[in-house]
Amino acid sequence: MFEVFGKYLRQKVDISDEDLEIIRAASVERKLRKWQSILHEGEVWRSNCFIASGCCRLYRFDKEGTDHTLRFGVENWWITDQESFNQETPSEYNIEALAATTVIIWTKDKWEELLRTIPALKSFNEKLTANAYEASQRRIFYLISYSATEKYFEFQKTYPSVFNRVPLHMVASYLGISRETLSRIRKEYAKS
């Protein structure tokens, strides 16, 4: 499955075969079963995780025990708890596979060494971080300013590869709306 990552990386940055082999040697492939977690609340996240196949989500629970989905990840996406990774503090989040999933993982130490020694990977990582920040800003804006219907359509438009692969209650959780509201919006949309 590393070939999936290699192809992905070559589409993003010019990288030599030698550097790609160094990146491969530092990685570990891991297969996850549906519903298997790779991060539990309270653990320190010390990995960088690329999804080669499958689907994952990052979520946490509120005081009442309701889970809130912050992010989904599918093929050629990354999934992480950036705060726990950067600060080396216990995570407030969980990461679980929503289907049989294969991930490519680098430990924090190995990833940081790769960034120090491979300029093309460092450049790629900086762009990836900037893109993630921009996506977070867009998401915050639509969560605080869009109607439930607008959130639904924005999610469908922005993440078409995710929408039909995750349970509706998780989509509702991600959008910050109730499952009943999501069902009503979908029914209204189906009529038109």
| pLDDT over 90 at 1, yes or no | no
CATH number at residue 68: 2.60.120.10
Mean pLDDT over 72-84 rounds to 95
- Domain membership of residue 178 (yes or no) is no
Stated pTM of the model: 0.92
- As for how many domains the chain has, the answer is 1
- Domain membership of residue 36 (yes or no) is yes
Range of the domain at 54: 2-118
- Domain membership of residue 9 (yes or no) is yes
Chain CA centroid to CA 190, Å: 29
- Domain membership of residue 54 (yes or no) is yes
Tell me the one-letter amino acid at 12. K
| pLDDT over 80 at 191, yes or no | no
CA atoms of 149 and 184, how far apart (whole Å): 10
- Domain membership of residue 78 (yes or no) is yes
> What average pLDDT does the structure give for the chain?
95
- Domain membership of residue 184 (yes or no) is no
Task: Specify whether the CB–CB gap between 103 and 40 falls below 8 A.
Answer: no
- Domain membership of residue 63 (yes or no) is yes
- Domain membership of residue 186 (yes or no) is no
CA atoms of 11 and 188, how far apart (whole Å): 40
